[in-house]
Amino acid sequence: MNTLHGSQTPIVGRRTALGLIAIGLSALALPARARNITVPQVDALTLQVLIDNATFGPFLSDVSLPGVSVVRHTGDAGKPVMSRAALHAEFGLSILATSQMDRTTAKVIVDFGYTPEAVRNNLSLLGIDVSDVDAAVLSHGHLDHYGGFSGFYRENPSRRIPLYVGGEETFCERLAMIGTPPPLMGSLDREALARAGFDVRIASTPQIIKGQAFTSGTIPLSSFERAAIPTQMRPGKGCNLAGLAPAKRDVTQLPDDGEHELATCYAVKGLGLVVIASCSHRGVINSVRQAQKISGIDNVHAVIGGFHLVRPRTEEEARRTVAEFAAIDPAYIIPMHCTGDTFISAAMRVMPQKIIRSYIGTEFVFKA
């Protein structure tokens, strides 16, 4: 029995002390008509890892594969390798997505990492200026995805930047169900976001971002995957009750169900979908299925991100996810962050040609 499973932890009722709440089109088609949005198709997409759990020294080679080039950056831009400055790894995620369509470039920050110190260090060493970023997406309201936000802080911003989140519950205070008592995870500072020039846009339905990316909207639990999230949230603390689902307004604390989690997606011309799954608390397969459904594009070129196939999920679920991926048949799977060793080792055994390992600084350039 796994003690981290949120549903196994008592929920504190607002009304009663013990109240509980149970709560085919081809990738080559242009443009694809979605069920509810028309998805743009970009000419090229570069994803650069700013924050992740893993770094590597200067020993990996760049590699060019069909539909993706992998460019490794290991330290201080322009300086000899093994200089005194090093990229910092931590248990968090941040990716810079730069896409081109015709002659227009769109830059989107996907998640903000865990600590501002690591973000500042890595942005500096990688030589990345975020002043020209067009938009940001926060996949969900967990500290390891928003905690580094102030590392992207812009003093006296001259323009506003839209920040997409999947629901008001992004801002609810949270507890991490990983100890006794469970440690407080806190909540994202809305006022700091505003001061830094970010305009929060709550989007539970799929959205087009800067004409080039799209978000998943609420991810349905359409496969064998369940919502499995090691946190609980406190409605009304940090978030407005009126913005929450009615069933969540009358309790003071309840297990997260990931209703607000977003995947960030692209359709790359001639290749297919690239799905950034961030933490996959609604399930990575569910995330990919949702991207396929709303885009009308079946072909999946790459899935990248944290797949969270560790507690509260089981090793059996991790192995089953490998089998589900084999059916979807993406060209590439890039596991990061919270994916876990069981999935990675099984996927490396079953479909080694699809797996690309990711490290901080790595750029993935997707182009037909």
Query: Closest approach of Cβ 240 to Fe ion, in Å?
Result: 24
CB-based contact 271:27 (threshold 8 Å): yes
Binding piece for Fe ion, criterion CB under 5 A, among 3-11, 14-22, 164-172, 331-339: 331-339
Note whether 111 binds Fe ion by CB under 5 A: no
Note whether 169 binds Fe ion by CB under 5 A: no
φ/ψ bin of 337: left (φ > 0), alpha (ψ from -120 to 50), beta (otherwise): left
Binding piece for Fe ion, criterion CB under 5 A, among 76-84, 112-120, 266-274, 275-283: 275-283
Query: Closest approach of Cβ 267 to Fe ion, in Å?
Result: 25
Token digits of residue 318: 């991790």
Query: Closest approach of Cβ 142 to Fe ion, in Å?
Result: 5
The residue among 291, 305, 364 whose CA lies nearest residue 334 is: 305
Note whether 279 binds Fe ion by CB under 5 A: yes
Note whether 251 binds Fe ion by CB under 5 A: no
Strand-pair category, 300-306 with 272-278? parallel
At 38, give phi and psi (nearest 5°).
Answer: -95, 115
Give the nearer residue to Fe ion in terms of CB position, either 51 or 268. 51
At 254, give phi and psi (nearest 5°).
Answer: -155, 160
Query: Closest approach of Cβ 174 to Fe ion, in Å?
Result: 12
Give the nearer residue to Fe ion in terms of CB position, either 134 or 144. 144
Note whether 134 binds Fe ion by CB under 5 A: no
Note whether 143 binds Fe ion by CB under 5 A: no
As a whole number of angstroms, the distance between CA 368 and CA 362 comes to 19
Dihedral angle, C-alpha 9, 13, 18, 21, nearest 10 °: -60
Got the DSSP string for 18-30?
A: T------B-TTSS
As a whole number of angstroms, the distance between CA 185 and CA 232 comes to 10
CB-based contact 186:173 (threshold 8 Å): yes
Query: Closest approach of Cβ 281 to Fe ion, in Å?
Result: 8
As a whole number of angstroms, the distance between CA 331 and CA 217 comes to 24
Helix (H), strand (E) at residue 213? strand 213-215
Note whether 317 binds Fe ion by CB under 5 A: no
CB-based contact 49:335 (threshold 8 Å): no
Give the nearer residue to Fe ion in terms of CB position, either 273 or 279. 279
Give the nearer residue to Fe ion in terms of CB position, either 331 or 336. 336
Helix (H), strand (E) at residue 135? strand 135-137
Query: Closest approach of Cβ 254 to Fe ion, in Å?
Result: 20
Comparing every residue's Cβ against Fe ion, the nearest one is 279
Query: Closest approach of Cβ 219 to Fe ion, in Å?
Result: 15
Note whether 228 binds Fe ion by CB under 5 A: no
Give the nearer residue to Fe ion in terms of CB position, either 32 or 93. 93
Note whether 188 binds Fe ion by CB under 5 A: no
Count of residues interacting with Fe ion (CB under 5 A): 3
What is the Cα gyration radius of the chain? 20
Note whether 144 binds Fe ion by CB under 5 A: yes
As a whole number of angstroms, the distance between CA 223 and CA 205 comes to 19
Query: Closest approach of Cβ 258 to Fe ion, in Å?
Result: 11
Site residues (vs Fe ion, CB under 5 A): 144, 279, 338
